[in-house]
Structure 1
Amino acid sequence: MTQQQPAAAPGQHMTAEIAEQPEVFAALLARRPEIAAVAERVTARRPRFALLAARGSSDHAALYAKYLIEVLLELPAGLVSPSTTTLYGAEPDLTDVLLVSVSQSGGSPDLLEVTESARRRGALTVAVTNTPGSPLERAAELSIDIGAGREQAVAATKTYSASLLALYLLIDAIHGGSGARAASLPELARSTLDSSVDAVEEAVQRYRFVSRMVTTGRGYSSATAAEAALKLAETSYLSARAYSGADLLHGPVAAVDEQTGVLAVCSEGRGGAALREVLDVVHERGADICAVGSAAGKVSAAQRIDLPACAEEVAPVLEILPVQRLSLGLALARGGDPDHPRGLNKITRTR
């Protein structure tokens, strides 16, 4: 008689996968020469601008890459709307364009179609995925395996942060960098996960009954704010909306009051500095602000999750770690299972 295996505890997989991230970062950094080889081929083609194609969490990684490309490479960059290809059949001339497609599974039909179409129209295509041999990897001219290993929880954690780091290493190498600013990330990630436990738990207790949240950041941290809103919505079923700090005062602040939780991502650097004035206004409106980042102590906030300082352009790799833990904790406190959010699958197939 076959003995039945005990059911996995709620959040078991997400908990384990969050904890794996320092090792994932170390393994990815060890493979930097492979990424640098892809960067050499991109540099040789001298792209005139870049496009990024992605969905879901990968779309937020693409937003991060957009900032990197525009700031470090000083190239114009844009996020692709896949439906212009898949639904409307648009075929612009993409000669000398770099198209980077980011997909953890490498199996999204719309991203596959966009990549195939772009390659036919002259683009240099690069797939960034966690699935070697995936259809997307085969469709692209070049590819990068983020190497995060199998992810069992529906909510992306290690695959998201590994995508950020892989994109940074690629763009930094195109820029002529050595990856030095990312070298300490495994150690800093361990420190972040260890040192933020108590502050995250305090935040869980503070926000477990909140019904809506706003997340915000500036610059590179805009991607973290966007991913934070998605994590809170998909794991805790919160009504969560992300805004750039630059946009928050242009109307959305009218909906912020004493019943609103605000998750503000603010690390040392120009983005964090630009967010301070915005948070002063939000604080005056009575919103309950939780600040996350290496500059959390410098902004108006009721709750702070301080992180170790690092170069601003790699801060999103660390910022997302306590946010993932917060999403996990809130989901469990509210009686959910973040490994299996209702109505969601690991791979979403859209066209």
Structure 2
Amino acid sequence: MHQEAAEAAEAVARLLMANRAAVRSLAGELRAQPPRAVVTCARGSSDHAATFAKYLIETSAGVLTSSAAMSVSSVYEARQDLDGVLFLAISQSGRSPDLLASVRAARDAGARVVAMVNDETAPLAELAHTTLPLHAGPERSVAATKSFITALAAIAQLVAAWTEDAELEAALDALPEQLSQAWSLDWPEVVANLLEAQSLYVLGRGVGFAVAQEAALKFKETCGLHAEGFSAAEVLHGPMALVERGFPLLVFTQDDPTRDSVIALADQLRQRGAEVMLAATDAPGALPAVSAHPTLQPILQIQSFYKAVNALSVARGLDPDNPPHLRKVTETV
């Protein structure tokens, strides 16, 4: 896991270069024939990438984006009207039976299928109208790292081209070097505060909610920690009841319109006696974070997090590469 996460900068540089022409072509087609909606299809870490896609597409392209409930097609075999819909399937392996069933059903229902997949030989790539390879290279650790980061980068590259966002496109050119900077940062507070912990919350908002979900999953997979990922807004509705003195929280925020409310929440949680670890730029006492385009800051923060969570797993006497009861390709039907 440590070795593969360290390769993320190189993988993202490879992806941005290799996919540039295909992304520009697809983006032109999306502008010429705008989809009436976007449906994402993914599981696990890839589904967290889909959360990132939802926020970025809806805020940048203004197109309604929703997550597919795969059982609707794979189990219930219900037919949906997806004519004019962009169906975005995201997967590291591209081989999960329920995902493939959902993609087939979407094609039959009139959707245009775009696959973001790491294994270009996978059945998912064969089913898609357009495939954007993730170019992460082999990923042997059960816990996905660089393939998640390349999925986020692929989404940002596509949306930047689709919406002709020159600022984001320019920012993406700097992302590989910034990922290297993010990997060099240390978050020792994560190990110190969570070495004996049993549970925690992970919070984020907007495009940062995706990395909160991802971090919570990694705590479960690699550290045996019961972690729940919440929107920093949603945590106020019920989950706050469990936050008492000493309760740990990892909070992500980026420099966009959500920042002030997230930092205010972090301050509120500290006043209640919670153990708050805040990942942010230019915030007193925060975990160090690389300054970048706000859309890309969550990608950089999850890169720093991967280094920290790997260290925590080892410190807790676990093997981050081989979580119990899990394997690389989950064959949900």
Range class of TM-score, shorter chain:
over 0.9
1:218-297 map, 5 Å? 218-295=205-282, 297=283
Task: Give CA deviations for 1:157-215 in whole Å, capped at 9, x if unaligned.
Answer: 00000000011111211112352121111111111111x12xx2343123211111100
Which deviates more from structure 2 when the two are superposed, residues 200-209 or residues 313-322? 200-209
The secondary structure found in structure 2 opposite 1:306 is coil
Task: Give the Cα–Cα distance (whole angstroms) in 2 for the partners of residues 193 and 288 of structure 1.
Answer: 24
Counterpart contact for 1:109–1:350, Cα < 8 Å: yes
Q: 1:305-339 CA distances to partner (integer Å, 9 max, x unpaired)?
A: 12121111122211101211121111100000001
Q: TM-score, normalised by structure 1?
A: 0.91
Q: CA deviation at 1:41?
A: 3.1
Structure 2 distance, partners of 1:49, 1:65, is 13
Out of 92, 96, 108, the residue aligned to residue 120 of structure 1 is 108
Alignment of 1:318-333 (within 5 A): 318-333=300-315
Give CA-to-partner distance per residue, 1:90-118, whole Å, 9 cap, x none: 21111100000001100011111111111
Which moved further from structure 2: 255-264 or 158-167? Answer: 255-264
TM-score (norm 2): 0.96
Pairwise CA distance, 1:294: 2.1
Distance 1:90 1:116, change over 3 A: same
How many residues align? The count is 330
Matches within 5 A, 1:332-343: 332-343=314-325
**Any stretches of 5+ residues in structure 2 without a counterpart?**
none
Whether the 8 Å CA contact 1:221–1:316 is kept in 2: the answer is: yes
Instruction: Look up the match of 2:120.
Output: 132
- Displaced runs of 4 or more, over 4 A: none
- Root-mean-square deviation over aligned CA pairs: 1.3
Pair 1:105–1:45, CA change in 2 (3 A): same
- Deviation, 1:62, is 0.3
Specify the alignment match of 2:175 in structure 1. Answer: 185
Q: Is the 8 A contact 1:53 1:100 kept in 2?
A: yes
2:331 paired residue number: 349
Distance 2:34 2:276 in 1: 44
Rounded to whole Å, the distance in 2 between the matches of 1:268 and 1:176 is 21
Given that residues 50 and 97 in structure 1 are in contact (C-alpha distance below 8 angstroms), is that contact kept between their aligned partners in structure 2?
Answer: yes
Which letter does structure 2 place at the counterpart of 1:39? A
1:272: Cα distance to partner? 1.9
Q: Distance in 1 between matches of 2:256 and 2:297?
A: 10
Does residue 61 (structure 1) correspond to residue 63 (structure 2)? The answer is no
Q: Quick check: 257-266 or 48-57, which moved more?
A: 257-266
Q: What is the rounded CA distance, in whole Å, between the counterparts of 2:100 and 2:208 in structure 1?
A: 28
Aligned equivalent of 1:10: none
1:144-155 to 2 correspondences below 5 Å: 144-155=132-143
- 1:201 paired residue among 164, 188, 191: 188
Q: Which runs of 5+ in 1 are unaligned?
A: 1-13
Task: Name the CA distance, whole Å, in 1 between partners of 2:199 and 2:330.
Answer: 25
Q: Is the 8 A contact 1:38 1:143 kept in 2?
A: no
